[in-house]
Amino acid sequence: MKQLLLAGLLALGTASFAQNSSSATTTQKPEEQIRQYWFVMLTKGPTRTQDSATAMAIQKAHIDNINKLYNEGKIKVAGPFGKNDQGWQGVFIFDCPTREEVERLLQTDKAVASGRLAFTVTPWYTAPIGSFVAGIPEKKY
């Protein structure tokens, strides 16, 4: 539960897009700013037999890696799913030029490298605007 809480708090802290990445984009309509990101679905991996102490250490390393990648500008969104029957564990949105870079960065995640998490990577398109801040947005489009 503690790991889920930490991951949830991290998701809230890392889940916003840059509002004004450049002055050129602030004058464009959102649909004129659409660009590619990478949607990563994290699912239960094939190796989930670690003892609880090892699983906790892997989870800590997982969160530390998310923070590192967020601080480098690579991960824009990260967060876990609630309990579900699909095996879904979490989601990342990466801002990287290539799938290969995303896959390389995913291997730096101890949860992926250890086999606790598996992933699928899919191109995803949106404008680099908005955020996950609750309530009505201040800027209207």
Task: Give the CATH number for residue 43.
Answer: 3.30.70.1060
140 — pLDDT class (breaks 50, 70, 90): low
For the chain, how are helix, strand and coil distributed in percent, rounded to 5? 35, 25, 40
For residue range 72-105, list pLDDT tens digits in order: 999 999 999 999 999 999 999 999 999 999 999 9
For residue range 10-24, list pLDDT tens digits in order: 443 433 333 334 444
Range of the domain at 80: 37-124
Question: Would you state the structure tokens that stand for residue 128, as one six-digit string?
Answer: 């680099």
Residue 113 lies in a domain: yes
Mean pLDDT of the chain: 84
Give the model's pLDDT for residue 130.
Answer: 78
Number of domains present in the structure of the chain: 1
Residue 137 lies in a domain: no
